[in-house]
Amino acid sequence: MTAHQPTAPADLSTETEVALERAATSHRHHELFSARASKIKQSAVRDVFDISLRPGLVSLAGGNPFLQSLPLEKIGGMAYKLVTEHGLTALQYGGGQGMEKLREQICEVMAEEGITDADPGNVVVTVGSQSAQDVACKVFCNPGDTVLCEDPTYVGALNTFEAYEVNVEAVAMDDRGLVPDELRRRIAEVRSAGGNIKFLYTIPNFNNPSGITLAAERREEIVRICQQANILIIEDNPYGLLRFDGQPIPPLRAGHPADVIYMGSFSKILAPGLRIGWALVPAHLQRRFYLASEAVTLCPPTLNQMLVSEYLDGHDWRGQITNYRDLYAERCLAMLSALEEYMPPGVTWTRPEGGFFVWVTLPPGIDTYPLLHRAIDAGVVFIPGAAFTPSDEPSNRLRLAFSAVAGDRIREGVRRLAPVIAEAIEAGTAERTG
């Protein structure tokens, strides 16, 4: 049991789940589990999924996009037309790589951010980008291999890495993202200890959970370091287009078609319930990647691909993204000003330029995991920082999501959270001085 997958506190876990886990290990079938099976744990994000739905509670936990501003009438009409007029295609099996037209449109989406040389033939449509991460591990990772990532990083990627039994090694970030010298140092360190590094997994824009963005001037250097070390880069960029102000920073993939597997998603710019993501794969890796993807799901859902394609064709999706940017910018501001107003001294937080999340740091020595309990009692939910790190240490950090909740509720949530944190700081101080 590693810290980033903490056991749910007793009252968060249902009795049934505990009983089932006991049954799993007592039954004779227990002998049949794979070595990896025991490493696949409940994500802390999922632990609080049900709790988040309790009425009255303010959930700053889940990074759900705010779908209210979508043109539902229009999308519904598209779905109707696809099924009634093109149902024999939309409801049938499709190719394992995804529909050609959608792959062409995905190249247009990527061009918005600065990837202008993408070939639709190198795009593989996947069941969300979670599935693309799974496929990347399948194609590159043997048990015991090493994967580098930011610390903190996306909990879902950590879950996938565990399922492939890889060693996850963190590279330090500062407020401008991954530190190139730290990357060099970690590569040397891991290699001198005999580690076999396969790729660097990075979320360069508005990192989940920290909200930190990798500075433009560091990007070339990061690619060059990995190139020289013969390490692939997995660039996970679901939030890139959701920058609050100014132009997007070109992805690491821009200008480096052979070095980066770029992963994108319609979950944040359209709708996660469609489960349509993609990978843009270097030409020399495309075939292996696509075949592995096909072996997992046969093909991505056809109706969903066509619906995304229709939406991109028939709606001002760029305008929709502008709406989202304005909305999330406003909510982020609401969160930052509430933090400013309510948080006790000694608490700091990031100021993201886009995305969904603010990362809050408490004084050293305070574990935010047990605080979750008290926060729920106070009527607010967050995700403890330990969920997002490959380290086994307790974390004095927590993630707050501003994406799904209106400004006044964000404010109320932070107001409820502040005394819980203040109390923990006082208790910590009392302990040290007592």
- Among positions 130-189, residues that touch a second copy (CB under 8 A) are 130-131, 134, 138-142, 145, 156, 159-160, 162-163
Residue 182 CA to chain centroid, in angstroms? 22
CA 388/CA 45 separation, integer angstroms: 10
Under the binding rule (CB under 8 A), the answer on residue 28 touching a second copy is: yes
Q: Please say which residue, 268 or 416, places its beta carbon nearer to a second copy.
A: 268
Residues 71-100 that bind a second copy (CB under 8 A): 72-73, 75-77, 79-84, 87-96
Beta carbons within 10 angstroms of residue 355's beta carbon: 29
Return the SS3 of 349.
strand
Q: 120 near 323, Cβ under 8 Å?
A: no
Residues 234-273 that bind a second copy (CB under 8 A): 258, 267, 270-273
Under the binding rule (CB under 8 A), the answer on residue 419 touching a second copy is: no
Q: How many residues bind a second copy (CB under 8 A)?
A: 100
Under the binding rule (CB under 8 A), the answer on residue 29 touching a second copy is: yes
Q: Please say which residue, 33 or 408, places its beta carbon nearer to a second copy.
A: 33
What's the 3-state SS for 125-160?
A: EECHHHHHHHHHHHHHCCCCCEEEEECCCCHHHHHH
CA 221/CA 186 separation, integer angstroms: 15
Residue in 408, 387, 108 with CA at minimum distance from that of residue 269: 108
Q: Which stretch binds a second copy (CB under 8 A): 16-24, 211-219, 242-250, 388-396?
A: 16-24
Residues 326-365 that bind a second copy (CB under 8 A): none
Residues 293-312 that bind a second copy (CB under 8 A): 294-304
Select from 10, 15, 16, 364 the one that contacts a second copy (CB under 8 A): 16
Residue in 343, 424, 331, 419 with CA at minimum distance from that of residue 379: 419
Residue in 186, 170, 168 with CA at minimum distance from that of residue 229: 186
Residues 6+ apart with CB under 8 A from 361: 347, 348, 349, 396, 397
Dihedral sign (CA 359, 363, 364, 368): negative
Under the binding rule (CB under 8 A), the answer on residue 218 touching a second copy is: no
Q: Which stretch binds a second copy (CB under 8 A): 203-211, 216-224, 274-282, 348-356?
A: 274-282
Under the binding rule (CB under 8 A), the answer on residue 34 touching a second copy is: yes
206: left (phi over 0), alpha (psi -120 to 50) or beta: left
Select from 8, 285, 406, 422 the one that contacts a second copy (CB under 8 A): 285
Q: Please say which residue, 258 or 427, places its beta carbon nearer to a second copy.
A: 258
Residues 6+ apart with CB under 8 A from 73: none
Q: Please say which residue, 134 or 367, places its beta carbon nearer to a second copy.
A: 134
Under the binding rule (CB under 8 A), the answer on residue 1 touching a second copy is: no
Under the binding rule (CB under 8 A), the answer on residue 70 touching a second copy is: yes
Select from 292, 334, 335, 375 the one that contacts a second copy (CB under 8 A): 292
Q: Please say which residue, 49 or 244, places its beta carbon nearer to a second copy.
A: 49
Q: 66 near 268, Cβ under 8 Å?
A: no
Under the binding rule (CB under 8 A), the answer on residue 203 touching a second copy is: no
Minimum CB–partner distance for residue 270 and a second copy (Å): 8
Q: Please say which residue, 288 or 374, places its beta carbon nearer to a second copy.
A: 288
